[in-house]
Amino acid sequence: MSKRGRLIAGLAALAVASTAGVVAATRGDHGSPGAGAAVAVEATPKGASDADKAARKREVDVLLAQRATAVLKGDLKGFLAIVDPKQPALVSEQRTLFTNLREFPFTKLNYFVDAEREAPAVVAKYGAGTFSVRVMMRYQLTGLDNAPVQTDLGYSLTRRDNRWVLVSDTALDEYLSRDGHRQPWDYGEISVTRRDNVVVVVEKAEATLGAQIARSSQGAVDAVLRHWSRPWNGAVMVVAMREPQVMSLLWTAGRGDGWTIAAKAVSLYDGEPLGLKTTAPVGARIVVNPAYRKRTDEDLLVHEMTHVATASMNHRTPIWLVEGLAEYVRCRSIEDDPHWTVDPYRKRVRSKYLPSLKALPTTADFDANSDRAYGLSWWTTEYLAATKGTKALTALYADLSAHNTTPVAYETIIKRHTGKTPTALAAAVKNWRG
């Protein structure tokens, strides 16, 4: 997370790391029959039996498998085969979806039914034979994802001419992951710009903006590679679209002025999209607030790029080090340019925040006063880099990520790498003048 322009631009725009419920899971054997072996399921006004539900699940899985194959092979007709032909608007939306998906090289892609969900409105509209399912989209983007990830969709289908047809893909939004199911390919035609390992997604009408952001993004990647010693391939997707709901519902947070979120590093998980995450992220995307997409620059992106570079190590690492490292890299990248300095930031931290430091910042501290928490986290990370070295800082980060499971483990790890308890470390940071 970062408050963009805190040092030099004067722009009160808070960028926070967020988590997206995206998972990787092996598709199990659902007993799907062959394409020509569909099982007829009769409409049941009072609800389907378990046997009927199992049968139509198998049928829909077959249709979904055909849909994934159509994307990979560029078969528009095959992709649209499941869509209700009596709905021109839905057909048009699905055609755009196909066009967008074809902008990405998929190493892997498949869809499969997770479970049925109630959607009375579509049943009332399309008849008692209509049912809705939560669908998993499992995919891996070539050059971006080291492992498959997964997002959820909501499909409503009804029976026509002895086959299932898609009549809605929005009826289950309330049952889906807040961030995960709102992917960049779901909102209008897009433009995808590639620059080395950077992929930037914007709306088709803003392709020039995409090229500009790609240049800034590559500069941000280079800055992270200069100042983060752990290997990272620099692969990242930046999404900067006008649609505010892409991978997010929240672009404001906290209280008072200056709480507009400028960008998020949205984590991708190997686990169920919904609920508390219990495993480490497998990657991340950067999503830019639509209101700031035309002001996206390297300073804004470096902090978020650091979150992407460390995404798989952020599971148990305390927030003060996760955010402190991102600020550390951002500030170091600013001072790579001899025309810029972070001295005003240093002065503010020394005079305004350090005198009240008693403990390393917690999540509650970030919620209560983000400026203070970011500043103190940055100062703590600068202290560790200056007194222990960047390799030791990286080792501390990795150890906390892997083994910080209890308060006792946390204190043991801090003392192992710094020679101090967390309380003593906070005291040393308070006395350090930089």
Domains of the chain listed by start with CATH number: 1-22+190-297+304-312 (no CATH), 50-176 (3.10.450.50), 316-434 (no CATH)
The predicted structure's pLDDT at residue 96: 97
User: Where is average pLDDT lowest: 201-205, 209-213, 238-242, 367-371?
Assistant: 367-371
Angle at 188 between CA 187 and CA 190, to 5 degrees: 100
The predicted structure's pLDDT at residue 260: 61
- With a pLDDT cut of 90, the percent of the chain lying above it is 70
Tens of pLDDT, residues 378-407 = 999 999 999 999 999 999 999 999 999 999
DSSP 149-203: EEEEEEEEEEEETTEEEEEESSTTGGGS-TTTT--GGGSS-EEEEEETTEEEEEE
Q: Six-digit token pair at 253?
A: 């947070």
Helix (H, G, I), strand (E, B) or coil at 281: strand
From residue 344, give the alpha-carbon distance in Å to each of 331, 348, 350, 386: 11, 6, 10, 19
**How far apart, in Å, do the first and last CA atoms of the chain sit?**
23
Tens of pLDDT, residues 226-281 = 999 888 999 999 999 998 888 876 665 444 434 467 888 988 887 678 877 778 88
The span from the CA of 55 to the CA of 116, in Å, is 12
Q: Answer whether 189's CB lies under 8 Å from 102's CB.
A: no
E-strand spans in 217-332?
Answer: 236-239, 260-261, 263-269, 281-288
The span from the CA of 260 to the CA of 250, in Å, is 10
Tell which residue, 295, 282, 265, has the closest CA to residue 25: 282
Q: Does residue 430 or residue 270 have the better pLDDT?
A: 430
The predicted structure's pLDDT at residue 19: 33
Average pLDDT, the chain: 86
The pLDDT-based confidence of 195 (bands split at 50, 70, 90) is very high
Confidence check: pLDDT of 68 > 90: yes
Q: Which residues pair with 163 in a beta bridge?
A: 160
Q: Does residue 256 or residue 355 have the better pLDDT?
A: 355
Helix (H, G, I), strand (E, B) or coil at 252: strand
Sequence letter at residue 268: L
User: Where is average pLDDT lowest: 45-49, 59-63, 203-207, 299-303?
Assistant: 45-49
The span from the CA of 179 to the CA of 249, in Å, is 7
- Cβ atoms < 10 Å from Cβ of 299: 24
Q: Does residue 306 or residue 7 have the better pLDDT?
A: 306
Q: Rounded to two decimals, what is the model's pTM?
A: 0.83
Number of H helices, E strands in the chain: 13, 13
Confidence check: pLDDT of 11 > 60: no
- Cβ atoms < 10 Å from Cβ of 297: 18
The pLDDT-based confidence of 211 (bands split at 50, 70, 90) is very high
Confidence check: pLDDT of 10 > 70: no
Residue with tokens 């148990």: 316
Tens of pLDDT, residues 76-126 = 999 999 999 999 999 999 999 999 999 999 999 999 999 999 999 999 999
The span from the CA of 273 to the CA of 136, in Å, is 10
Q: Six-digit token pair at 132?
A: 């809705």
